[in-house]
């Protein structure tokens, strides 16, 4: 929890990691990709405040103690959601797998929500693994990477018939939240790998599932916004938005937040630190203190304390059924979005 000026914020970090990208985990022959990947992540950390930067050696493999301190002790987070990223073509044991995350989740009950993943190209074996992970870890969410190039396949989309089999299985297994990575990626080649139109199709056909678009489609925020405004079950995952822009480019951060509040709305935006790229502490402190910097932004929806409470934790708590203590909840009637007039513009 975080407290400022008498206001109490329940914090759910809905997008974070526990990875091993050190040389001991690099696949022989793919070292340049494993190294290039983590160096790229490390450059993102450079967009945060200087005093929060880590040396590359620590960044490649931070410890359990680092994570528990940065996220919970110093970082105000009440519940953190692990989002796995496999990348087994480069990292022998995977970059950040369900199993690796599971070690911490088991050791610290109540602190973590353990999401798993699937890839429709794994066919029946992948479905088996998904069932196994749900049984073993109780996963209620998944993280998907549609743009991943693999063995001659140049990615996949949520519209594919095979993906629908997996979405059916999610529905049946009680998985509610589908986090889709639409952001910086690996092998898009001749397609636009950031295309979010497949989320549109799946969200329409699976209304009982929630689709959280991580990194809000960056670098295609406009496509994401125009789509999300039409789908009640599409959410904006703010990982990278707060970490990558709030400190480094505050004016653009304000504009992006304004756009998201207008098109998507404060009830459908979720905070994610993207730890270990960025520590949650400065992001939460900065976001609670944040407002539009000038009158130039007067035609964007207003930001209230209730807006921030929802984004920092209450929205994600609802998605994952996390019990929020009474003192952190909003009073009845508090936090009604102020964008009613603007919403009339949206078809």
Partner 1 sequence: MTTLLDAGPVLAALATVRDPELDEPITALGFVASATLSPAGAARVELRLPTYFCAPNFAYLMVADAYDAVSAVDGVRRAEVVLTDHFAAGPINDGVAARAGFAGSFQGEAVGELDGLRADFVRRAVLAGTDLVCRPLVGAGVEPAALAALTLGEVPPSPDLTRLRERRAELGLPAGDGAPLLVDPATGGPVPVDAVPLHLRKARTTRVNIEANTGICRGMLQHRYQTRGQGEEDA
Angle value at C-alpha 55, between 217 and 79, nearest 5 degrees: 50
Residues shown for the chain: 347
- DSSP letters of 107-118? HSTTTEEE-EE-
- Position 262 contacts partner 1 (CB under 8 A): yes
Q: In angstroms, what CA-CA distances link 132 with 72, 87, 95, 224?
A: 29, 20, 20, 32
| CA gap 14, 24 in Å, rounded | 29
For residue 183 the two structure tokens come to 């952001």
In angstroms, give the least distance from the CB of 240 to partner 1: 8
Nearer to partner 1, 165 or 255 (CB): 255
Paired tokens of 142: 């998944």
Query: What number of chain residues touch partner 1 (CB under 8 A)?
Result: 45
The 8-class DSSP code of residue 68 comes to: I
Which listed residue (244, 280, 313, 337) binds partner 1 by CB under 8 A?
244
> DSSP secondary-structure letter at 239?
T
CB of 272 to partner 1, least distance (A): 16
Min CB(96)–partner 1 separation in Å: 17
Residue 148: CB minimum distance to partner 1, A: 12
Q: Cβ atoms within 10 A of the Cβ of 84, count?
A: 26
CA distance 19 to 42: 13
Binding piece for partner 1, criterion CB under 8 A, among 71-79, 147-155, 166-174, 267-275: 147-155
Is residue 79 near partner 1 by the rule CB under 8 A? no
One of 119, 148, 198, 259 touching partner 1 (CB under 8 A): 259
Question: Which residues, 6+ apart, have CB-to-CB distance to 123 below 8 Å?
Answer: 162
Q: Is 2 left (phi over 0), alpha (psi -120 to 50) or beta?
A: beta
User: What are the beta bridge partners of residue 149?
Assistant: 154
* C-alpha closest to that of 67 among 38, 47, 96: 96
Kindly state the tokens that stand for 302.
Answer: 């207003």
- Give the list of residues 6+ apart from residue 100 with CB closer than 8 angstroms, or none: 18, 19, 20, 84, 93, 94
> 146: alpha, beta or left, given left = phi > 0 and alpha = psi -120 to 50?
alpha
Q: How far is the CB of 219 from partner 1 (least distance, A)?
A: 4
CB-wise, 184 or 286, nearer to partner 1? 184
Q: What is the CA radius of gyration of the chain?
A: 19
Q: Determine the interface stretch with partner 1 among 80-88, 115-123, 129-137, 339-347 (rule: CB under 8 A).
A: 339-347
- Which residue in the set 26, 118, 166, 263 belongs to the binding site for partner 1 (CB under 8 A)? 263
At residue 246, what are phi and psi to the nearest 5 degrees? -60, -40
* Binding span for partner 1 by CB under 8 A among 20-28, 60-68, 132-140, 251-259: 251-259
Nearer to partner 1 among residue 128 and residue 249 (C-beta): 249
292 binds partner 1 (CB under 8 A): no
Instruction: Give the nearer residue to partner 1 in terms of CB position, either 96 or 101.
Output: 96
168-227 residues near partner 1, rule: CB under 8 A: 184-193, 218-222, 225-226
Out of 149, 164, 290, 297, the only residue in the binding site for partner 1 (CB under 8 A) is 149
| Least distance in angstroms from the C-beta of 153 to partner 1 | 10
User: Applying CB under 8 A, does 256 fall inside the site for partner 1?
Assistant: yes
Q: Give 245 or 317: the residue with its C-beta nearer to partner 1.
A: 245
Beta carbon of residue 217, minimum distance to partner 1 (angstroms, whole number): 9
Binding positions for partner 1, 32-51, rule CB under 8 A: 32-33, 36-37, 39-40, 43-44, 46-47
Task: Tell me how crowded residue 346 is: count the other CB atoms within 10 A of its CB.
Answer: 12
Residues of this chain that interact with partner 1 (CB under 8 A) are: 32-33, 36-37, 39-40, 43-44, 46-47, 149, 152, 154, 184-193, 218-222, 225-226, 244-245, 248-249, 252-253, 255-256, 258-259, 262-263, 345-347
């Amino acid at each position: 929890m975080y407290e400022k000026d008498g206001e109490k914020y329940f914090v759910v970090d809905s997008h974070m990691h526990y990875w091993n990208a050190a040389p001991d985990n690099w696949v022989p022959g793919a070292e340049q990709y494993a190294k290039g990947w983590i160096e790229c992540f490390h450059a993102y950390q450079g967009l945060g405040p200087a005093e929060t930067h880590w040396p590359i050696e620590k960044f490649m493999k931070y410890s359990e103690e680092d994570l528990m301190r940065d996220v919970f002790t110093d970082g105000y987070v009440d519940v953190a959601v692990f989002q796995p990223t496999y990348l087994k073509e480069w990292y022998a044991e995977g970059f950040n797998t369900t199993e690796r995350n599971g070690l911490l989740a088991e050791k610290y009950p109540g602190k973590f929500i353990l999401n798993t993943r699937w890839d429709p190209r794994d066919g029946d074996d992948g479905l088996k693994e998904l069932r196994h992970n749900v049984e073993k870890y109780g996963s209620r969410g998944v993280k998907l990477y549609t743009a991943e190039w693999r063995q001659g396949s140049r990615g996949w989309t949520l519209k594919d018939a095979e993906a629908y089999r997996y979405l059916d299985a999610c529905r049946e297994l009680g998985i509610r939240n589908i986090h889709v990575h639409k952001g910086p990626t690996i092998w898009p080649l001749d397609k636009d790998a950031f295309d979010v139109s497949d989320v549109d199709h799946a969200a329409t056909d699976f209304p009982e599932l929630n689709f959280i678009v991580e990194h809000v489609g960056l670098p295609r925020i406009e496509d994401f916004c125009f789509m999300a405004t039409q789908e009640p079950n599409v959410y904006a995952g703010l990982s990278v938005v707060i970490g990558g822009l709030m400190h480094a480019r505050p004016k653009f951060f304000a504009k992006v937040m304004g756009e998201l509040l207008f098109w998507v709305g404060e009830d459908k935006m979720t905070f994610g630190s993207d730890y270990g790229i960025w520590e949650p502490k400065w992001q939460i402190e900065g976001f609670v203190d944040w407002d539009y910097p000038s009158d130039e932004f007067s035609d964007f929806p207003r930001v209230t304390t209730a807006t921030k409470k929802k984004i920092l934790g209450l929205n994600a708590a609802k998605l994952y059924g996390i019990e929020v203590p009474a003192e952190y909840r909003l009073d009845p009637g508090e936090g009604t979005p102020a964008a009613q007039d603007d919403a009339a513009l949206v078809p």
